[in-house]
């Protein structure tokens, strides 16, 4: 129990540290779907992959490979914005939040 708590606290510390170090969302000129998905994947890699894994396979956080089969884009955005379980709220906001939620909603 004690080890699990320590691992969770270290994980949360890493997430918060990475969130503070993550770059802002950079807009691309093309604005196409592929570009938006590339932007979302970049944001995910900066802010989420430390807990949810490089390939959405999970780690400290749950696997997200089929998250869109269980949650709508709006529900995913709400979870990111407000947090859920051990996941802290507000790691991504604004346009970046919308891009990541849209991208994750396609994972079915």
| 31-60 pLDDT tens trace | 467 888 999 999 999 999 999 999 999 999
Predicted local distance difference test score (pLDDT) of residue 23: 44
Q: With contact defined as beta carbons under 8 Å apart, do 26 and 39 qualify?
A: yes
Whole-model pTM over 0.85: no
Predicted local distance difference test score (pLDDT) of residue 24: 45
Best CA proximity match to 43, nearest among 18, 8, 68, 67: 18
DSSP 47-74: HTHHHH-TTS--SSSPP-TTHHHHS-HH
Best CA proximity match to 8, nearest among 16, 69, 74: 16
Give percent of the chain above pLDDT 70.
70
pLDDT band at 1 (very low <50, low <70, confident <90, very high): low
CATH number of 2-105: 1.10.760.10
Token pair in block for residue 86: 């051990």
Helix (H, G, I), strand (E, B) or coil at 22: coil
Domain regions of the chain by residue span: 2-105
d(CA 48, CA 68): 16
Helix (H, G, I), strand (E, B) or coil at 43: helix
């Amino acid at each position: 129990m004690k080890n699990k708590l320590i691992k969770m606290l270290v994980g949360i510390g890493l997430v918060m540290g990475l969130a503070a170090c993550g770059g802002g969302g950079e807009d691309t000129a093309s604005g196409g779907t592929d570009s938006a998905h590339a932007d979302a994947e970049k944001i995910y890699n900066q802010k989420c992959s430390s807990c949810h894994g490089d390939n959405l396979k999970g780690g400290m956080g749950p696997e997200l490979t089929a998250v869109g089969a269980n949650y709508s884009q709006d529900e995913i955005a709400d979870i990111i914005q407000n947090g859920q379980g051990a996941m802290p709220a507000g790691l991504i906001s604004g346009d970046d939040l919308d891009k990541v939620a849209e991208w994750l909603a396609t994972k079915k």
